[in-house]
Structure 1
């Protein structure tokens, strides 16, 4: 039985771009690694190189997406400021997605590094569950742990009313600090 040959760096990067452009769903580094017969870490490095070349590849909790695939939308966006414990994360995210709102990202204002933002892109309970499961892994900390629970989320929805309902509910449970736009 022949062993599968490894792809060159440029071949892998082209594979990543081509597959992401075709896909409507995120693709994990592990899936790319299997196709290219390399380690997951090699794929992570390839994606870093692609980002340095200004390719719009974004890492989400479900895998990589190609932002060039995103159609022009009529979504409204609002940034909210929240403060809660790690144990309240699941409740917070469920409230948001249960109102038909997507959590685009999370960011914190670190005293040394400044703004640190990570893509989340969760829109339903299944995606929230996958994201939350990853947060519970060994040696994984919530980004908000750098700021004692204070963090921001960019929310997206097809109406501002949905986002306002989320804000009202988050305020009701005592974790909404405010909004920025």
Structure 2
């Protein structure tokens, strides 16, 4: 059995940066660790070093993504207030992604901790399914459970019309707070 050689230091970080910039999907720490023959913890440290150099890398529930500032179409953003029971989270996310919307995050206003914000970054039903599966597998709570169902989302789409249609569908489903 031969063991692959570890990719070291700056060379590894340059590879990570290149992979993140060229992929159109999130890359997990485990996948990056496997590609470079190092531990996932080394990758976490490398990502922190790259972020310290102002590289726009974001950790999502699906893996790391490079927030491409150039060559991307201009996106429209909107922050909405949503309210529903935890069991309707999948339905809410499906409604949004079915209209071509990316759900970037979830935010709550906690009475003790103030604003709490977490990355969601889902754009397809498959990504929603993976997000919900991860919540269930880890027995994690939704942030909205800390505020009896009220929460905010930052939405992103390539047009105001998509955002309008998604919001209208959420309103019809009784989940949008105006």
TM-score range, shorter chain: 0.7 to 0.9
**1:82 CA drift (Å):** 0.8
Give the equivalent residue in structure 2 for 1:67: 67
SS of corresponding position for 1:136: helix
**Contact 1:94 1:125 (8 Å CA) reproduced:** yes
Q: How does 1:116-127 map to 2 (within 5 A)?
A: 116-127=116-127
Do structure 1's residue 128 and structure 2's residue 121 form an aligned pair? no
TM-score where L is the length of structure 2: 0.87
* 43-52 or 21-30: bigger deviation: 43-52
Give the equivalent residue in structure 2 for 1:97: 97
Q: Which runs of 5+ in 2 are unaligned?
A: none
TM-score where L is the length of structure 1: 0.86
Distance 1:172 1:75 in 2: 25
**1:157 CA drift (Å):** 1.9
Cα RMSD after superposing both structures:
2.0
SS of corresponding position for 1:54: coil
Deviations 1:17-37 (A, max 9, x none): 121122222211111111122
Do structure 1's residue 83 and structure 2's residue 83 form an aligned pair? yes
SS of corresponding position for 1:137: helix
> What is the aligned length?
178
Deviations 1:115-157 (A, max 9, x none): 2322222222112111211121224222223323221111122
Give the equivalent residue in structure 2 for 1:153: 153
**1:69 CA drift (Å):** 5.7
Q: How does 1:15-30 map to 2 (within 5 A)?
A: 15-30=15-30
Give the equivalent residue in structure 1 for 2:54: 54
Distance 1:27 1:81 in 2: 30
Distance 1:74 1:53 in 2: 25
Q: Which runs of 5+ in 1 are unaligned?
A: none
* 119-128 or 26-35: bigger deviation: 119-128
**1:70 CA drift (Å):** 5.3
